[in-house]
C-alpha cells in the first residue's frame, strides 16, 4: 500500500515519544487523538491541496507576509474540528488571514475540502500540537487574535490540569498578540467558562470587553456550529469571552 502525504501526517501526529534512553515519554496534552477514519476524499484533499493551504511545523517563526502575500491581521484558531465555521469566517472576512491548528486529521481534510469548495485564499491549516506551534513557529507580537471555541472540557476534576486554558497558556498567547489583539473563547461547559474567566481576568495585560466583566452574547461574526445549535435545542448554555491586549 502506497503511503501518501496525508498518511504520513497522520502517522506523525500519532507517533509516541521516547526519552534518550528509550523510555516512553508521557506528555500531559490538552487534546485526545480521536483519529477516526480519514476518508479517501479527505486524504485526496490533503494530498492535493496541502501546498496551497497547509503549513508544517518549523522551529523558526513563520513569515506571515510571505505565507499570505499581504500584511492583513492573522487570526489563529486552535482546535477547529471539521473546520466549517473557520472556513465560513475566512470567507466572510477577506481582509483578515486565518491560521487553524487541528490534530484530528479527518477534520484537517474536511476543512481543506470546504476551503477549496469556497475558493478560500486567506486560510492556512496546521496539523500539529498547538503548544509547539505557539512556542516555536509564531513570533511575538504578530497575531491579531486567538480563537478557541469549545475546547475539550476535561470535565472530571482530576483531569482539569489537561485543559488548555491555564495561566501559562494565556501568558504565551498574550506574548504572540499585537497590541489590541484579542482572545475569543467559547464553551458550553459552565465550570470551564468560570475557569476561562478566572484565568483571563488574572492576566494583567488583558482587558475584558464584557460590560459586566464576565461574558458577552455570542457575536454575529462567530458562526453558529451544528454542535452548538444542537446544544441550544437541548437547553445547554454557551458562554463567550472576549478579551483584548492592552497597549504598552
pLDDT (tens digit per residue) in 161-215: 889 999 999 999 999 999 999 999 999 999 999 999 999 999 999 999 999 999 9
Cell of 95: 481582509
Q: Residues 6 or more apart from 108 whose CB is under 8 A from it?
A: 9, 42, 46, 83, 102, 125, 127
Burial classification of residue 204, based on how many CB atoms lie within 10 Å of its CB (0-12 exposed, 13-18 middle, 19 or more buried): exposed
Arch. (CATH architecture) of 27-245: 3-Layer(aba) Sandwich (3.40)
At 232, is the pLDDT very low, low, confident or very high (cuts 50, 70, 90)? Answer: confident
Q: Residues 6 or more apart from 26 whose CB is under 8 A from it?
A: none
**Residue 62: pLDDT over 80:** yes
Among all residues, which ones are annotated catalytic?
Answer: 152
The annotation places the binding site for substrate at: 156, 188, 225-228
Alpha-carbon span 110 to 123, nearest angstrom? 14
**Residue 1: pLDDT over 50:** no
Cell of 23: 523510555
pLDDT at 161 (0 to 100): 87
Give the Cβ contact number of residue 72 at 10 Å: 17
At 55, is the pLDDT very low, low, confident or very high (cuts 50, 70, 90)? Answer: very high
The annotation places the binding site at: 77, 102, 129, 152, 156, 188, 225-228
How, if at all, do strands 123-126 and 177-187 pair? Answer: unpaired
Amino acid at each position: 500500500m502506497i503511503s501518501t502525504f496525508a498518511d504520513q501526517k497522520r502517522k506523525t501526529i500519532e507517533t509516541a515519544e521516547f526519552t534518550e534512553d528509550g523510555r516512553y515519554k508521557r506528555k500531559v496534552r490538552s487534546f485526545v487523538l480521536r483519529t477516526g477514519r480519514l476518508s479517501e476524499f479527505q486524504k485526496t484533499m490533503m494530498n492535493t491541496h496541502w501546498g496551497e493551504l497547509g503549513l508544517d511545523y518549523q522551529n523558526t517563526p513563520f513569515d506571515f507576509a510571505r505565507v499570505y502575500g499581504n500584511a492583513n491581521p492573522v487570526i489563529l484558531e486552535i482546535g477547529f474540528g471539521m473546520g466549517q465555521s473557520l472556513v465560513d469566517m475566512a470567507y466572510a472576512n477577506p481582509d483578515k488571514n486565518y491560521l487553524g491548528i487541528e490534530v484530528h486529521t479527518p477534520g484537517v481534510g474536511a476543512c481543506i475540502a470546504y476551503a477549496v469548495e469556497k475558493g478560500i485564499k486567506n486560510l492556512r491549516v496546521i496539523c500539529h500540537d498547538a503548544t509547539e506551534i505557539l512556542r516555536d513557529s509564531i513570533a511575538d507580537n504578530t497575531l491579531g487574535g486567538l480563537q478557541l471555541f469549545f475546547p475539550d472540557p476535561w470535565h472530571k476534576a482530576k483531569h482539569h490540569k489537561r485543559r488548555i486554558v491555564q495561566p501559562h497558556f494565556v501568558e504565551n498567547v498574550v506574548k504572540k498578540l499585537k497590541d489590541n489583539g484579542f482572545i475569543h473563547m467559547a464553551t458550553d461547559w459552565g465550570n470551564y467558562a468560570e475557569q476561562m474567566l478566572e484565568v483571563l481576568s488574572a492576566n494583567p495585560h488583558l482587558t475584558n470587553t464584557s460590560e459586566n466583566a464576565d461574558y458577552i452574547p455570542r457575536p454575529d461574526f462567530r458562526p453558529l456550529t451544528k454542535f452548538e445549535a444542537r446544544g441550544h435545542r437541548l437547553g445547554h448554555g454557551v458562554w463567550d469571552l472576549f478579551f483584548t491586549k492592552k497597549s504598552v
